[in-house]
Structure 1
Amino acid sequence: TRDFLAGALRTREHVFARIREVFERYRFEPLQASAFERLETLTGKYGDEGDKLIFKILRCGEHEATGEADLALRYDMTVPLTRVVANHGSQLPTPYKRYARGPVWRADRPGKGRFREFAVC
């Protein structure tokens, strides 16, 4: 992961603002989905290799000592979109034209110039 100081952050936010303007010009609606999902929702969607790249969130509370995970950070925006449509489909317009931007996380050993946390649109 990385930190963004003021200059880089301003540039980044400017780029994201331009992207948002284009989406909204074509009447796409914004969507902000949760950064984490139930582990069972994410596993199996990316194949065995993809499952190894999921950052798991260990259970806390009474199950903390088990070392088991029941949540995970999102890997991309596809599964969260599917969950949103399944949970809120009757409230969404048809066709549902949406855009989303946000961080995703992949638990791999990134090569030079790549990161475990990055933004996608």
Structure 2
Amino acid sequence: TFKEWSKTLFSDETYFTTIGFNYCLMVIHNSDEEFYSNYIDDHEKSTRSGTIGWRAFCGQMKSILVFVPSKISIDSVAYTKCILNQHLISFWHATCEEYGWTKVVEDGSLSDKKYAIKCREKNMVDKIID
């Protein structure tokens, strides 16, 4: 039900750049053609670089959209300082006030590292492991 889903906070980030295609694969063929794997153009593929955009939502509430500059390398420490401490925890508290106790869903890429784990434990954030 909506009431049950409104007690779940979803959080994620994405990398983007305005130069090139970043790390996304391009599929080069007409949509009405049969797909073959040689249509994938992966020479544009690069490592994750560019600006990071992060946001969270819960029920009808949305956090602010956070941009992390490309010069900051996002590891567990940077994730904890730039996103978890400054934005996610305060947004989580706001959702708990609005909807009652809410659980947090984060993707596991950076959020499960030791600094983020310690920060969540200190703030008693109820995380759903995905």
TM-score normalised by length of structure 1: 0.25
Structure with the higher helix share, 1 or 2: 1
TM-score normalised by length of structure 2: 0.24
